[in-house]
Amino acid sequence: METWSERARLWLKRLPIERLQNPAPVVAVLRLAGVIGQVGPLRSGLSLARLADPIQRAFSMPRVKCVALAINSPGGSPVQSALIARRIRQLAAEKDIPVVAFAEDVAASGGYWLACAADEIYADANSIIGSIGVVASGFGFSDLIQRIGVERRIYTAGEKKSLLDPFRPENPEDVARLKAVQAVIHGNFQSWVRERRGDRLAASGETIFSGEFWTGQKALELGLIDGIDDLRAAMRRRFGDNVRLRLAAGREPWLRRRLAFRGEGADGLSLLPASWADDLLGAVEARAWWNRYGL
């Protein structure tokens, strides 16, 4: 008959001692998918406010060896792009953890701004990469309101307060003011790409910063990415087949998840329930961003 000590030894033999002594490396996966910034009148896309918690979680995981950015974004707000990218770089430097980006369908415009937060960038051969530029669009209705007999009235305190009113003829001075702002943003975008990609850029600034976009294969030739690869395969080669890919996700309050609230009041809860009109407007605007790249 087995004694207690013999049973204990048998039980200890079954324990995965080797795995406990040599735990599997962890790669934190941070998903950056969607339009960046505000989408529609009330809906928010990717923003630092929404991503601050997941970013912090990604860099704070036990045994994390690398943070992988899974990017699928057609762009959006340059401010939110810069804020998110800056937070990633701050934590990467603070924790001394490498960051690798993987583009899925699109990492263009603000999406590429996010990708440049990584030390290395990879994409599929068919991914859309680039679009390093700034765009503003709108409509003009001045002829329409004249035909239907509507008079436009607008009053400002400050002669420059109104800019490109869609119900008035286009003003060359307004266009010049807008282009001046765009030039500053474009310059900041170029500086960021040069800072992060450095000597890896293999084409002239005239080509790279023209606002054009390319497939992943062409982007590799231009030095915008470092290779053609996918997240799982690349991380397994780098850290071994037993690497654990763990999604870094933030937490939303239980009540908000249950009621699908939109917008926050002073108490942190939504003031307005989600509406079909809000969803529709947000979907139309997001669709317009994706359509720029034929997707």
The enclosing domain of 255 has a CATH number of: 3.90.226.10
Give the tens place of pLDDT for each residue, 23-71. 899 999 999 999 998 765 555 689 999 999 999 999 999 999 999 999 9
Cα atoms in the 13 Å half-sphere on the side-chain side of 74: 14
User: Does residue 87 fall inside a structural domain?
Assistant: yes
For the chain, what percentages of helix, strand and coil (3-state, to nearest 5) are there? 45, 20, 35
Q: Structurally, how many domains does the chain consist of?
A: 1
User: Does residue 239 fall inside a structural domain?
Assistant: yes
pTM for the model: 0.77
User: Does residue 96 fall inside a structural domain?
Assistant: yes
User: Does residue 28 fall inside a structural domain?
Assistant: yes
The answer to whether 217 and 225 have CB atoms below 8 angstroms apart is no
Ranges of the chain whose pLDDT falls below 70: 1-22, 39-44, 136-146, 149, 151-168, 174, 250-295
User: Does residue 221 fall inside a structural domain?
Assistant: yes
User: Does residue 93 fall inside a structural domain?
Assistant: yes
The answer to whether 121 and 87 have CB atoms below 8 angstroms apart is no
Residue showing tokens 């999604």: 247
What is the residue type of 272?
Answer: L
pLDDT at 131: 92
Q: Which domain holds residue 104?
A: 23-137+189-291
User: Does residue 195 fall inside a structural domain?
Assistant: yes
User: Does residue 152 fall inside a structural domain?
Assistant: no
How far, in Å, CA of 107 to CA of 69, rounded? 11
Encoding tokens for residue 269? 């809860």
